[in-house]
Amino acid sequence: MSAYADFPTSDRCLVLGAGGFIGTNLCLALRARGVPVTGFGRSARPAVLDDIDWVRGSLDATPWDRRLERLVGGHAHVFDLIGAGLPNSSNDNPAQIVADAVPAKVRLLEACRVAGVRRYLFASSGGTVYGVTGTQPVAEDTPTEPISAYGIGKLVVEKYLSLYRHLYGLESRTLRIANAYGPFQESRNGQGLVAALLRRLLADQPVEIWGDGRIVRDYIHIDDVVDAMLACLVHEGPGRVFNVGSGTGRSVAEVIADAARVTGRSPRLIRREPRGADVPVNILDSSRLMREAQWAPRTSWEAGLASTAEWIARSG
Amino acid sequence: MSAYADFPTSDRCLVLGAGGFIGTNLCLALRARGVPVTGFGRSARPAVLDDIDWVRGSLDATPWDRRLERLVGGHAHVFDLIGAGLPNSSNDNPAQIVADAVPAKVRLLEACRVAGVRRYLFASSGGTVYGVTGTQPVAEDTPTEPISAYGIGKLVVEKYLSLYRHLYGLESRTLRIANAYGPFQESRNGQGLVAALLRRLLADQPVEIWGDGRIVRDYIHIDDVVDAMLACLVHEGPGRVFNVGSGTGRSVAEVIADAARVTGRSPRLIRREPRGADVPVNILDSSRLMREAQWAPRTSWEAGLASTAEWIARSG
């Protein structure tokens, strides 16, 4: 049971991107705490969320009219989990993310301001906003030099949140999330390494890796990410931007070895060329969130990997 | 005569925004050093630049085709002095700068990459990218929290320059310029305080000020800004982002008093409401540029203000 089991809000929350990996887990956690939730997503409501309110749609396709305000209206809190493509493919057309996705987000902020939303919670990307940094783990005040347009897009939304806080008092919290893993994670296009690995191992399929397996990431269980989101919903300290990571780095090679051990399968590797948008090492220092919100990761890597493998084996 | 009188390049430079305040001064300085220059601007070539090559046009209106590559082609260096509106009015439609101006800049970077441009020099804004900071003067590694969409737009271009350097090796230098003043400065919409003040005092017109006159800015003479640009063109140190300021803060009230003294006129003030995008204090620490490029401001405030007043009196 979560540290936030006695979660003190009965205000309605809007979860944007509710059908995705983080969104599904967050909606389940809010529902379990009796918080009224509206989910918004591109697809039909997932079966597992069949008892929450659902609005099907796409931010990109929403024109600059009153529809956004109507979507947002009546919600005290908005969780923005809407991504915009993938880090690597974002560099193929680097202007697109600022031309399309960011203005859509700014219009959303404008709607939140008009609708009187009390707090906007933004899922940023701890793995891309910093870029290639000298020291690890990285704290929130480390200079941000993304090496993907995707990372720039996330950073720009952070800056607009700061602007809207300053100009209009729209409260927000940014969560720079590390590599989350756990139930409901998709595994497409080389993203979601843990889910992809476990699925392929359990299906006796070969595993693709980009580069030499030495890329280091910070893997954090989705339950801990959801805990961080709930913590940020009620947080009252000075911070507005928070890293959410385990603080431990693991190489792709280590993750493969651990996944092989947990599943009892031997991996067959297909090696691909390294990708330009992959930083060599990314480990997050989340001590700000620990200090200001009494958050702490509570799922160990070993237990999280094992339970995720079980979940995948069970759910197919 | 400038510290960069023996400027060591005969490579052709493209100056974007050449008809503006900084652009006109830069073109004159490059021409005086025998550097071949192409000016690009929205207006017809100013008379003072009648012996440089000129292309009339607008980045916004340039579609995503080969025209940008043809504009950029044949130039070793590109100076990007193209602004995008004004800090205060940018907040009226905060999505616009990322929706329009930033993608245009990214397309320009793409053209520079294809055309093999050796160095891109970007006029960023030391007065807006930092936002409201705790300590003064601000150095380049201070967190950037703009309180105007204009400042966000500048910051996003900086991030794209960093991305293009990482992905494609396109070299660049960013100059975060303080409040420049001097010959050829326009004075519209409350921008360009020194020029506006001197013109109004010399014409015996009342002077508008926003707020209580306690807003502090860092005023730097345009000759020192041009020196910094030339220094960045040949700079080979580790820095890529440089503050360009005097390091001295002056309040609006002080500037008015000094301008009144220099012109021998008594100001009649019209007080306006403070503007949301004005940070209370902004003073730049430019020691990185001093250290890495042996740059130093060489025009004192007193001498610069007096010569600017003379220039305005002479040129009308």
* B163 CB within 8 Å of a chain A CB: yes
Name every chain A residue with its beta carbon within 8 A of the beta carbon of B141. 143
Q: What is the pLDDT of residue B21?
A: 95
* B160 CB within 8 Å of a chain A CB: yes
Q: What is the pLDDT of residue B63?
A: 60
Question: Which has the closest alpha carbon to A272: A202, A198, A206, A219?
Answer: A206
Does residue B1 surpass a pLDDT of 60? no
Name every chain A residue with its beta carbon within 8 A of the beta carbon of B160. 94, 149, 152
Categorize the per-residue pLDDT at A1 as very low, low, confident or very high, splitting at 50, 70 and 90: very low
For residue A188, count other CB atoms closer than 10 A to its CB.
Answer: 9
Residues 118-137 (B) with a CB less than 8 A from some CB of A: 131-132
Q: Closest to B107 (Cβ–Cβ): which among A95, A144, A166?
A: A95
Q: What is the pLDDT of residue A5?
A: 54
The model carries a pTM of 0.93
* B304 CB within 8 Å of a chain A CB: no
What residue in A sits closest to B278 (Cα-Cα)? A167
Domains of chain B, earliest start first: 13-181+219-245 (3.40.50.720)
Report in angstroms the alpha-carbon separations of A236 from A119, A173, B133.
Answer: 11, 10, 21
DSSP for chain B? --TTTT----S-EEEETTTSHHHHHHHHHHHHTT--EEEEESSPPPGGGTTSEEEE--TTT--SSHHHHHHHTT-SEEEE----S-HHHHTTSTTHIIIIIHHHHHHHHHHHHHHT-SEEEEEEETTTSSBS-SSSSBPTTS--B-SSHHHHHHHHHHHHHHHHHHHH--EEEEEEE-EEESTT----TT--HHHHHHHHHHTT--EEEETTS--EEEEEEHHHHHHHHHHHHH--SS-SEEEE--S-EEEHHHHHHHHHHHHT----EEEE---TT--SB--B--HHHHHHH-----S-HHHHHHHHHHHHHHH-
Contact A178, A126 (CB under 8 A): yes
Does residue B316 surpass a pLDDT of 80? no
Cβ distance B106 to A91 less than 8 Å, yes or no, reads no
* B153 CB within 8 Å of a chain A CB: no
Tens digits of per-residue pLDDT, A39-68?
A: 999 999 999 999 999 999 988 766 656 788
Contact A248, A304 (CB under 8 A): no
Query: Using CA atoms, how far apart are residues A33 and A26, in angstroms rounded to an integer?
Result: 11
Tell me the average pLDDT across B242-252: 97
Tens digits of per-residue pLDDT, A88-139?
A: 788 888 888 888 888 889 999 999 999 999 999 999 999 999 999 989 999 9
Contact B41, B18 (CB under 8 A): yes
Q: What is the pLDDT of residue A19?
A: 95
Cβ distance A162 to B156 less than 8 Å, yes or no, reads no
Query: Using CA atoms, how far apart are residues B23 and B49, in angstroms rounded to an integer?
Result: 10
Query: Using CA atoms, how far apart are residues B148 and B173, in angstroms rounded to an integer?
Result: 23
Cβ distance B99 to A94 less than 8 Å, yes or no, reads no
Cβ distance A141 to B146 less than 8 Å, yes or no, reads no
Tokens at residue B140, please?
């380049």
CA A120 and chain centroid, separation: 14
A156 CB-contact burial (10 Å; exposed 0-12 / middle 13-18 / buried 19+): buried
* A280 CB within 8 Å of a chain B CB: no
